[in-house]
Amino acid sequence: MKVQKIILFSLLCFAFTGCRDLIVTEPDTSQNVADFEAAWQTVKSVYPYFQFKHIDWDSIHSVYSPLANAAKGDEIFTVLFNMLAELRDGHVSLQAQGGSAVSTYHPPRVEKDKYTYSPFVVRKYFNKELRLSGDQQVEYEIISDNVGYIYIASLSNNEPILDGFDEALVYLKDTKGLIIDVRNNGGGSDNNSNGIIERLISSAMNVLSIRLTTGGIQQGGLIYPRGPFQYTKPVAMLINGTCFSACEDFAEMMKHVPTVTAVGDTTAGASGAPQLFALPSGKKINVSTKDILRYDGSPIEWNGVLPNILVSQTEDDIKQGRDKQLEHAIQLLQ
């Protein structure tokens, strides 16, 4: 009986186009080339750093096009990932329809500093619980000798960051100095970062400029003092290699506020104002679209923002319960 069933199954297979087609459905390959061409053309039309990074995008096409044509099913993910990785851009990512984004490049300074900051170690420097505001994205308290401390975890537009910062600033209004800590801040909205700076300036300030893909420069405009009062006493800003994207724009602008001193280490070097683009199959790619410039005219991309006072910190420092960057900021303001 068992042999008869096997023979019957075999005959049924041949009645169709083959057992493989009947039993296993191969991944669809019909849109692989279309996805590749759309991804390549999108990058070509919007990416601002080809000249800065010495990338010949046409030659990249000639390398990866045959691989895309030969890719079967989900093999196209590897082709697209490797092509996008040629940009060496921390903002560039690839995601399947309904899936999570996969970054194609991790900036070296992010990798170096990703374990050199700990909120648990920071809290050891306080004799009371930190206050929370801004949907728990802003922590604040008086740390030592009437020095205020504000940690800003995000600049996302989805969070009430400015309300939280304003609340913290009212509480810390009478401190003799202020630490603003943006380590591990992955960025978000320039509206939030500019709004914070507007509470620290006494006159109009230039926003960062953008180099256009045509080569021209788009001036950034001006921001103005905001709120019922401005905090004009000394400020120490803590930064490191995990400060990313809009947080780096914030750090660069903060460095040019007269009362601010940047302490810590150089930021990630990834500030390209990314946008999400859909491919024909539903896959998506995230690509940088703007060359945001430091005040010296050089890109933030790859260069990052340097501190005024370099204080290196390691994972071992954190394991030993020390935050040397925070300690330096406290001493500076005391």
* CATH number assigned to the domain with residue range 118-269+304-333, chosen from the 4 options 3.20.20.70, 3.30.450.20, 3.90.226.10, 3.90.1300.10: 3.90.226.10
Assign domain 28-105+272-290 to a CATH class: alpha beta
Quick one: pLDDT at residue 272?
87
Quick one: pLDDT at residue 18?
39
Domain ranges in the chain? 28-105+272-290, 118-269+304-333
Nearest CA among 110, 82, 104, 77 for reference residue 91 = 104
Q: Do the beta carbons of residue 111 and residue 315 sit within 8 Å? A: no
Tell me the H-state helices in 227-288. 246-254
Pull the structure tokens for residue 225: 């003092």
What's the pLDDT tens digit per position in 267-309? 999 988 899 999 999 999 999 999 999 999 999 999 999 999 9
Q: Do the beta carbons of residue 144 and residue 131 sit within 8 Å? A: no
Quick one: pLDDT at residue 271?
87
Nearest CA among 22, 92, 19, 81 for reference residue 53 = 92
What's the pLDDT tens digit per position in 134-170? 989 999 999 989 999 999 999 998 779 999 999 999 9
Quick one: pLDDT at residue 28?
61
Q: Is 73 left (phi over 0), alpha (psi -120 to 50) or beta?
A: left
The whole model's pTM is what? 0.88
Quick one: pLDDT at residue 216?
86
Quick one: pLDDT at residue 7?
39
Q: Do the beta carbons of residue 230 and residue 203 sit within 8 Å? A: no
For the chain, list residues with pLDDT below 50. 1-25
